[in-house]
Amino acid sequence: MRLPLVITLGAMAALAWLASSHADPQPTVDYPQGFTRWTHVTTGLIGPGNPAYAHFGGFHDVYANAKAIEGYGAARFADGAVLVFDVHEAKTVQDAASPGARRLVDVMVKDRVRFGSTGGWGFAEFPAGAREPQGLQPANACYSCHATREKQDHVFTRLSD
Contact 62, 107 (CB under 8 A): no
Among the listed residues 58, 108, 118, 120, the single contact to ligand HEC using CB under 6 A = 108
Separation between Cα atoms, residue 19 and residue 31, nearest integer Å: 26
* Nearest in space to 59 (alpha carbons), one of 90, 14, 92, 28: 90
Check binding of 105 to ligand HEC (CB under 6 A).
no
Distances (CA, A) of 11 to 4, 6, 8, 102: 10, 9, 5, 49
The span of 30-38, 94-102, 110-118, 138-146 binding ligand HEC (CB under 6 A) equals 138-146
Among the listed residues 39, 76, 156, 159, the single contact to ligand HEC using CB under 6 A = 156
Contact 120, 146 (CB under 8 A): no
Angle, alpha carbons 20-133-136 (nearest 5°)? 110
Check binding of 135 to ligand HEC (CB under 6 A).
yes
The span of 1-9, 30-38, 72-80, 83-91 binding ligand HEC (CB under 6 A) equals 83-91
* Radius of gyration in angstroms for the set of CA atoms belonging to the chain, rounded to a whole number: 21
Among the listed residues 32, 125, 126, 153, the single contact to ligand HEC using CB under 6 A = 125
Query: Site residues for ligand HEC, window 7-46 (CB under 6 A)?
Result: 42, 44
Check binding of 115 to ligand HEC (CB under 6 A).
no
Among the listed residues 81, 84, 87, 109, the single contact to ligand HEC using CB under 6 A = 84
Check binding of 62 to ligand HEC (CB under 6 A).
yes
Phi, psi of 52 (to 5 degrees): -85, 0
- Contacts with ligand HEC by CB under 6 A lie at 42, 44, 60, 62, 83-85, 106-108, 123-125, 135, 137, 141-142, 145-146, 155-157
